[in-house]
Amino acid sequence: KYAANFFLALKLSFANNLATLCERLGADIDDVVAGIGHDPRIGGAFLRPGPGWGGSCLPKDTHALLRVCEESGVEFPLLRATIETNVAHQRLLVERVAAGCAGADGSLRGVRIALLGLTFKAGTSDLRDSPALAVARLLREQGAELTAYDPALSELRPDLGDLLTLTGTAPDAAEGARACVVLTEWPQFRGLDWEAVAGRLAAPLVYDFRNILDPARLDRAGLTWEGIGRPLAMAR
């Protein structure tokens, strides 16, 4: 079980690092993943980029395997790199948001950011080791004020009250925000009234860190879309 979950985490860290390279080169991560996925030795599962990996199993089991290695006196650099890459990737995403949303002083202090999705994946209300919350904490460390909407959540755990404010709709979360950041791949987000969201945002920025939205649809709503591992030209 440890080995299986480590390998899945490895594939996700690989995809996220590859997505960053695609952005630098003007390539499309979807094309690259589709290409390598045709190789039956690789397949396309667990190669979609996102805001990092998390959940109830992958973080727990990768760290448990790391402890087994340490206790056994076995060096496993690839395992450490998989974990470190996940954290570094999340910091890189936060840097992207900060670059586009910083206030007059060049920081995120007092800047409101709207988050769409808090659970670690769609179809669950589970927040355990959610990458969305990891990104939220990094944004909060930089002083951002966070509002959020998640279709599966009607209230927050008490320990998250100081982190963000939960709202009942996506437009409510967008009220006065400098950007909207998609962190969970809920299919409901594709069908949102994006004109209503745009009307509540203080700036027309949407960071789609799950690559689930249609850039053309957001463009019609007057919004600027940025995906992950996708050419910026798609947003224009």
109 and 6 in a single domain? The answer is no
123 and 228 in a single domain? The answer is yes
* Final residue belonging to a domain, choices 53, 87, 121: 87
80 and 154 in a single domain? The answer is no
The pLDDT of residue 156 is above 60? yes
Note the pLDDT tens digit of each residue in 127-150: 999 999 999 999 999 999 999 999
* Final residue belonging to a domain, choices 38, 64, 87: 87
22 and 119 in a single domain? The answer is no
Residue 86 confidence class, pLDDT cut points 50, 70, 90: very high
CATH of the domain at 9: 1.10.1040.10
Q: By the 8 A CB rule, do 236 and 218 touch?
A: no
28 and 142 in a single domain? The answer is no
Domain that holds residue 64: 2-87
The pLDDT of residue 190 is above 50? yes
95 and 74 in a single domain? The answer is no
CATH of the domain at 183: 3.40.50.720
The pLDDT of residue 44 is above 60? yes
Per-residue pLDDT, averaged over 209-214, amounts to 97
The pLDDT of residue 65 is above 80? yes
77 and 161 in a single domain? The answer is no
Q: Which two tokens stand for residue 137?
A: 């904490």
Residue 64: the pLDDT is 98
Residue 205: the pLDDT is 97
The pLDDT of residue 235 is above 60? no
For the chain, the average pLDDT equals: 95
Per-residue pLDDT, averaged over 102-129, amounts to 95
Residue 81: the pLDDT is 98
The pLDDT of residue 233 is above 70? no
Residue 22 annotated in active site: no
Q: What is the three-class DSSP state of 166?
A: strand
Total domain count, the chain = 2
Per-residue DSSP letter, 142: T
* Final residue belonging to a domain, choices 87, 115, 150: 87
Q: What is the CA radius of gyration of the chain?
A: 18
Please give the helix or strand (H or E) that residue 113 lies within, else none: strand 112-116
101 and 17 in a single domain? The answer is no
62 and 136 in a single domain? The answer is no
50 and 105 in a single domain? The answer is no
Per-residue pLDDT, averaged over 217-224, amounts to 96
203 and 103 in a single domain? The answer is yes
Residue 103 confidence class, pLDDT cut points 50, 70, 90: confident
Residue 104 confidence class, pLDDT cut points 50, 70, 90: confident
Residue 236: the pLDDT is 45
| Catalytic choice (57, 69, 101, 180) | 57
177 and 61 in a single domain? The answer is no
Give the rounded percent of residues in the chain with a pLDDT score beyond 90.
94
Give the long-range contacts of residues 224-228, CB within 8 A, separation 24 or more: 226/96, 226/100, 228/16, 228/19, 228/23, 228/29, 228/49, 228/50, 228/93
Residue 232 confidence class, pLDDT cut points 50, 70, 90: low
